[in-house]
Amino acid sequence: MHDHWASSCRKNLAGIGKTDRQFYRAGGSSKLNDETDFIVVGAGAAGIMAACTGARQGLNVVLIEKNKTIGRKLAITGAGRCNLTNLSDVNQLVINTPGNGRFLYSAFQRLNSEALMDLFQRDLKLPLKVERGNRVFPESDRAQDVVGALAKELKDAGVQILTETKVTGLMIDSPEDADAGKRRVSGVKLHTGQELKSPMVLIATGGLSYPGTGSTGDGYMFARSAGHQVTELTPSLIPLETREKWVKQLEGLSLVNVEVRTIYEGKQLQSEFGEMLFTGFGVSGPIILSLSRTISPLVLHKPGSVLIEIDLKPALSKEELDLRVQRDFAKMVRKIYKNALDDLLPQKIIPVIIELSKIDPLKPVHQITKEERLRLVCLLKSLQLTIHNPRPIAEAIVTAGGVHTKELNPKTMESKLVSGLYFAGEVVDVDAYTGGFNL
C-alpha cells in the first residue's frame, strides 16, 4: 500500500519526524523502546486505521491492546459479517449520525465511503459488496476477513503491536513544564510498571458495550484524567424492555413493513418504518434499535415515560382498514371472532390482539358491533407498549456519549486541552444509526 492511505486518512497525523522503526512480534515487549513517535491505545477499527496511517507516514508506531488478539469487537460486528460502511454521500452520513454528526464533516471530506471502499479493495485486496440500504460488506460475509486484512496491513506498515498489555494512565506534562503554558502528553503508563514515552498518544479504547471484547470504559477514565468532559453514557442501538408481559407470548415473532412511533409526554418524537422483533423481555429489530437512541436516555431517567405505537397496517388509513375488516368479516359471516383474523394478521399475534380488543373471542363476526370493530381497527393502527428500560449497556451495539466534541479539533481529533493527545472511535461523543454508519 502506498501514499493513498495517508492522503485519504481521516486523521491528520503529519508533522512528526521520521525515525528508525523497531519491529517485534505481538506481545514481544523485550524489543520495545522506552520512547516512540506515536502510541495508539486500543486495537479496534479506529485504532488500527490510525496506527497503519501513522506508520505509512514514516512514524514509529506502537499499538497497545489489552486483549490477546486485535479487532475483537470488529470480528463479531454485523452478526459476524461486518457492515463496514454505508455507501451514502457525506450529507446522508451526517444525517444518519444523530449524535454530533456535524462534527464529522471534516473527517468525511477526507475519507468518504467510496474512498474507504477503494482503500479496502485496492490496497487491502479485500473484495466488498453493496447490499440493500447501501450497506457495505466483505464479499465473503466474514468479519474475520476484515480483521485479517487489517492485521496484514499492520504488519506490512511496520506497526509494533503489544497485546495483553493494559494502559493504566496517561503521562501529561504539567503547565509549568510545557511550552507556552499548555499541557502536553508525554506518554503512557503500562500495567507492568513501565512508562512508554511519546509526544503523541491516540485513545481508541471503545465504549462500554460488549465488555467481553475489551470495551470497559478505560478511555473515559483517561479523558477525565486529562481534564476532558465526558458526556452522559447511555446504550444506543439496544433492545428495549416493556412493562407489558404479553410480549412474552410473541417471543420470536418478526413483523415486517410496520411503522413504530415514539411518544413522550403526549408528543410524537420519531417514527421508523421497517422490521421489528418481539423478544421475551420486550422488542428489538432494526427499527427498534434505531429508535432506542432517543428512547434510552429518557427511560433511564424516568422508566415508563415513553410509549411506542406499532402500526401493523401502515399502508392503510383507519378508514381504509375499517373497510378491509368489514370485507373480511362479510366473507367469514359464519365464523367466530377468534377464527376471523387469519387473513389480516400473523397467527402468533392473533390471541394477543383478541385479548387487547376486549371482544368476546367466541362472538360470531356478524354480531360484532361497529364500536367493537372500530376498537379493533384502532388497535391495529396503534398497538401500544410502555418502554420500561433499555437492556443493559453491555448488550448495546454502541455507546452514546463520550469525550465532548467541543474539546476536540474536528480536523485532527486532537485534544484542545492537551497537545499531542488524540481521541477516535466510540470513546468520542459521536454515534450513528444501524446500517453501516458507525464504523
Same domain (yes/no): 244, 369: yes
Same domain (yes/no): 84, 204: yes
- Residue 16 domain flag: yes
Residue 35 has what pLDDT? 85
For the entire predicted model, the pTM comes to: 0.88
Same domain (yes/no): 125, 157: yes
Same domain (yes/no): 254, 223: no
Same domain (yes/no): 23, 105: yes
**Helix, strand or coil for residue 418?**
coil
Residue 253 has what pLDDT? 98
Cα dihedral: 238, 239, 243, 244 (round 10): 160
Query: Which residue shows C-alpha cell 490477546?
Result: 68
- Residue 253 domain flag: yes
Q: What nine digits make up the cell of 360?
A: 368476546
Contacts of 431 (CB under 8 A, 6+ apart): 97, 98, 99, 236, 237, 293, 398, 399, 400, 401, 438
Are 273 and 256 in contact by the 8 Å Cβ rule? The answer is no
- Residue 435 domain flag: no
Residue 256 has what pLDDT? 98
Residue 65 has what pLDDT? 98
CATH number where 359 lies: 1.10.8.50
- Residue 437 domain flag: no
Residue 260 has what pLDDT? 99
Residues 71 and 214: their CA atoms lie apart, in Å, by 10
Are 171 and 188 in contact by the 8 Å Cβ rule? The answer is yes
Same domain (yes/no): 181, 206: yes
Residues 238 and 393: their CA atoms lie apart, in Å, by 8
- Residue 433 domain flag: no
Domain membership of residue 379 as a residue range: 239-390
State the amino acid at position 279 in one-letter form.
T
The HSE-up count of residue 402 (CA atoms within 13 Å, CB side) is 30
- Residue 320 domain flag: yes
- Residue 190 — φ and ψ, nearest 5°? -105, 160
Query: Which residue shows C-alpha cell 381504509?
Result: 320
- Residue 246 domain flag: yes
Query: Which residue shows C-alpha cell 486518512?
Result: 9
Same domain (yes/no): 374, 264: yes
pLDDT per residue of the chain (439 residues) written in tens, 0 to 9? 333 333 333 333 333 333 333 334 334 444 567 889 999 999 999 999 999 999 999 999 999 999 999 999 999 999 999 999 999 999 999 999 999 999 999 999 999 999 999 999 999 999 999 999 999 999 999 999 999 999 999 999 999 999 999 999 999 997 665 555 679 999 999 999 999 999 999 999 999 999 989 999 999 999 999 999 999 999 999 999 999 999 999 999 999 999 999 999 999 999 999 999 999 999 999 999 999 999 999 999 999 999 999 999 999 999 999 999 999 999 998 999 999 999 999 999 999 999 999 999 999 999 999 999 999 999 999 999 999 999 999 999 999 999 999 999 999 999 999 999 999 999 999 999 999 999 8
Same domain (yes/no): 146, 284: no
- Residue 194 domain flag: yes
Are 310 and 276 in contact by the 8 Å Cβ rule? The answer is yes
Beta strands in 127-197 (DSSP E): 128-131, 135-138, 160-162, 167-173, 184-190, 195-197
Same domain (yes/no): 272, 218: no
Residue 275 has what pLDDT? 97
Residue 181 has what pLDDT? 66
Same domain (yes/no): 146, 274: no
Residue 33 has what pLDDT? 72
Residue 32 has what pLDDT? 66
**Helix, strand or coil for residue 415?**
strand
Look at the chain and report how many structural domains it folds into: 2
Same domain (yes/no): 301, 219: no
Contacts of 263 (CB under 8 A, 6+ apart): 269, 306, 307, 308, 309
Nearest to 402 by CA among 424, 427, 421: 427
CATH number where 39 lies: 3.50.50.60
Same domain (yes/no): 51, 14: yes
Residues 205 and 41: their CA atoms lie apart, in Å, by 6
Residue 252 has what pLDDT? 98
